[in-house]
Structure formats: structure tokens, C-alpha cells
Amino acid sequence: MGRHLGLQCHIEMTPELVRSWVRAGTGEINHALPAASVQRPAQILINLPERAARLNRIADVLYTRWIQGLKH
């Protein structure tokens, strides 16, 4: 008990998934603007391959540590 972290996010994203979500959600995103917590679709796509690669490296570390914690 007390060894698990609740987490809800999508650090497993790929550039293809992000592009797909942006295409499908452009109307919803634009409807939420202007909001400090909402990026415009064009902003989301800036340097996407590099940002996704960095996020995936973080995901590898996070999931590895989480799985190690399940073993105890």
C-alpha cells in the first residue's frame, strides 16, 4: 500500500496520433480558445517529431519505474 501513483496523461503519443487528434478535435480546440491552458492546433504541431521523441523517452523511464514498483 502507498506505493502507487495515480496518473492520467498520454505520454505514449506519436506524431501520427497527435496529428489525428488535432484533425479530429480542431473544432473543439478552437471553441475553447482563448484559454491559457489550450494551445492552437498550429502550436501543437510545431516541432512535433522532436517533442514526441522526447516525450517517449520520458514514457520509457516512467513506465519502467512503474512496472518495477508493481513487482514489490
One pLDDT digit (tens) per residue for the chain, 72 residues: 566 667 788 888 999 999 999 999 999 999 999 999 999 999 999 999 999 999 999 999 988 988 888 876
CB under 8 Å to 12, separation ≥6 — which residues? 56, 59
Residue keyed to cell 514498483: 69
- pTM, rounded to two decimals: 0.76
Predicted confidence at residue 55, as pLDDT, reads 93
Predicted confidence at residue 3, as pLDDT, reads 67
**Helix, strand, coil abundance in the chain, percent, nearest 5:** 65, 0, 35
Predicted confidence at residue 56, as pLDDT, reads 94
User: How many whole angstroms separate alpha carbon 50 and alpha carbon 59?
Assistant: 14
